[in-house]
Amino acid sequence: MSTFTIKDSKFAGYAALLLRIGIGVGFLSAVADRFGLWGPFGQPNVEWGDFSRFLEYTHTLNWYLPAGMIPLLGGIATGAEILFGLLILVGWHTRVAALLSGLLLLTFGVAMTLALGIKAPLNFAVLTGVGGALLLANCEGFPFSVDELLFYRTIKRRTDESSTTSTIQSTESDHK
């Protein structure tokens, strides 16, 4: 299987940052909608407006599951979207969060297709989200992220330890 890399592109860092913002805010916005933070159902651009409507939609997508499992499934999906949204937005464990986000979105897309037909995931650009998350998981770096901060901190620590070790070895050889 062939691969391609955009590491030399001067825009790769900006692309990764925009993917992080888009995917992270997208997840958190969907959660905000189901908790009514964008307004009640019926307002423009409000899909659910409250958690009970979201659970009805969850049941529509997962018609094959017993009704008693729907609140648990809705809670797990909501928790995953909050977790992945925050991790991707701040850029902490970005690669793993992006990969799991892609799998979560793929699961949503399959459920939507089985329950509502192929047009539903296309209307919500679910496949675009899957592709974006998987691309993000394969980025070489994540500018303006906790991951980047920790990476540079680790390099600095190793450099400091290396220079300390060489200074100690140099001092010991001077005393011989």
In a domain, 5, yes or no: no
CB 111 within 8 A of CB 61: yes
Is the predicted pLDDT of residue 110 greater than 90, yes or no? yes
pTM of the full structure: 0.83
Residue 7 placed within a domain: no
Residue 151 shares a structural domain with residue 138: no
User: In this predicted model, what pLDDT tens digit does every residue of 21-69 receive, in sequence order?
Assistant: 999 999 999 999 999 999 999 999 999 999 999 999 999 999 999 999 9
Count of the separate structural domains present in the chain: 2
At residue 171, the pLDDT reads 52
- What value does the mean pLDDT of the chain take? 90
Q: Judge if 175 and 116 occupy the same domain.
A: no
Same domain, 134 and 170: no
Domain span at 155 = 145-176
Pair (136, 149) in one structural domain: no
Query: CB within 8 A of 113, min separation 6: which ones?
Result: 120, 121
Average pLDDT over residues 89-112: 97
Residue 129 CB burial class (10 angstroms; 0-12, 13-18, ≥19): buried
User: What confidence score (pLDDT) does residue 175 get?
Assistant: 55
pLDDT value at position 6?
Answer: 52
Does residue 6 lie in a domain region? no
Q: Quickly list DSSP for 61-80.
A: HTTTS-GGGHHHHHHHHHHH
pLDDT in the model for residue 60: 97
